[in-house]
Structure 1
């Protein structure tokens, strides 16, 4: 099943499977979300929960007991329930169940709230710890922005001038090696060589937003003020780029395996609620 919301400027469509945004069009019918061609990557904008990235050996421990979780967790592969709908907004919910408890022994509710405001789509996350103990988790977004022109016609402009230092991945884990994106007048021209070692992982940034320019003209702005970390990724020769606001990232090789000790993890107290949001603005 799919749900569509709209306003006078935009129309967004979301799958109930994974509560995944798969279309964002303006009133000229231009599509801004990657079509999901599996020849490159068969997703559009999956939710990353209850982990972001990869665990060492795909394994973690809670109170000494081992559990397995795949890369980016399980929420993106589960069916969400539509619990609220207006013309320009939709709220989806995923509740813990016997299946999730085998992989992640915590009682939770995860909500995704999509809201259209003029030329902007806000995507809000709500994580509710329904249990009686502290709950460790990460959460992140993975929207793939469609790039209809040649990849090299695009560039990034970060909100602030800063050292754009990112961590390198080794065997899908965060290494101790870092590099910095080179800027030209505060711009980062896009080319596929940037991603030959997989995603660029920025553990911290001063910038709260990033603008994609198409032929030097503003195209899309992604605002991630609520998120401390950012991933940027594409596949070789693919006509999209993913701008990924994150709380958390892959394990390091030195990680103990205890989820409570994982670098970048969030700890939510019993019966408490976590809120965050990011936005995609059409320029």
Structure 2
């Protein structure tokens, strides 16, 4: 079920299936800052929980048992309940079931709240642990943003870049599915920009970690249109695209990732570096913001 929320500045469409981000536009125009493929398909911009990416061979070990879990976890294929809705916000919720416990032996409640604050879309993940043991999880999303942001700039990534509010650099590259050299070379010497081009994504994504920046901006030379992403507290920012496609995904992730190539501990749920641990009866919150600019 798709739900539209709006304020005086922007309108946002989400879907209860996977708590998916679907569309983000200024209220007075049709230009979409999110990008969706024409053909429907699974998990396009939906919620990743309790896994980010994959585990080696699709299986992991925990407390002497082996479990099989799909890429990005099971939330992306779940029909969330709508538990709160106003003109400018909507909250989706899922909880553990017999099916989730078979692949992920933890009780949980996950709420995904979307709220508009002027031109900014705030995405908040609220994780509750109703169980009596620590809840081990990761959570995030993989929104795809239109690139070029401004249709007047033609097609392709030419002239487009990611602008960081603080110096970054090749040392922030913690994982890549293609060669490292093109990504490292795409940074400007001061580390504040990363040039976008198809050659960065021959085999998929690359991932930046321990960023100094809370904000990254997707922009093109010579245009005022841009997209600002605020990610304070994010463990990683994964960046990916498909060569020749008109989008770039900027993915705020909180928790653990599997390295490439995988390490031995990546297949053991309790030993995956960066896994978030939530105490019994506790609540955790993770949030990021998307602001279209023009």
Give the structure-2-normalised TM-score.
0.88
1:35 aligns with 2:8: no
CA distance in structure 2 between the aligned counterparts of 1:248 and 1:177, rounded to whole angstroms: 26
What is the aligned counterpart of 2:226 among 219, 236, 244?
219
User: Mind listing any 5+ residue stretches in structure 1 that lack a counterpart?
Assistant: none
**What is the 5 A alignment of 1:125-274?**
125-147=125-147, 148=151, 149-150=154-155, 151-164=157-170, 165-169=172-176, 180=184, 181-183=186-188, 186-216=192-222, 217-252=224-259, 253-256=262-265, 257-274=267-284
CA distance in structure 1 between the aligned counterparts of 2:158 and 2:180, rounded to whole angstroms: 29
Question: 1:31–1:178: structure 2 CA closer, same or farther, 3 Å change rule?
Answer: closer
CA distance in structure 2 between the aligned counterparts of 1:63 and 1:191, rounded to whole angstroms: 44
User: Mind listing any 5+ residue stretches in structure 2 that lack a counterpart?
Assistant: none
1:197 Cα deviation from its structure 2 partner: 3.4
SS at 2:252 equivalent: strand
Count of residues in Structure 1 that have an aligned counterpart in Structure 2: 279
CA distance in structure 2 between the aligned counterparts of 1:179 and 1:45, rounded to whole angstroms: 24
1:135 Cα deviation from its structure 2 partner: 1.2
Instruction: Return the structure number with greater strand share.
Output: 1
CA distance in structure 2 between the aligned counterparts of 1:62 and 1:178, rounded to whole angstroms: 37
1:218 Cα deviation from its structure 2 partner: 4.9
1:282 aligns with 2:282: no
Give the structure-1-normalised TM-score.
0.92
1:267 Cα deviation from its structure 2 partner: 0.8
1:202 Cα deviation from its structure 2 partner: 1.1
CA distance in structure 2 between the aligned counterparts of 1:239 and 1:179, rounded to whole angstroms: 19
CA distance in structure 1 between the aligned counterparts of 2:180 and 2:99, rounded to whole angstroms: 35
1:7 Cα deviation from its structure 2 partner: 0.3
| Contact 1:47/1:140 (8 A) holds in 2 | yes
CA root-mean-square deviation = 2.3
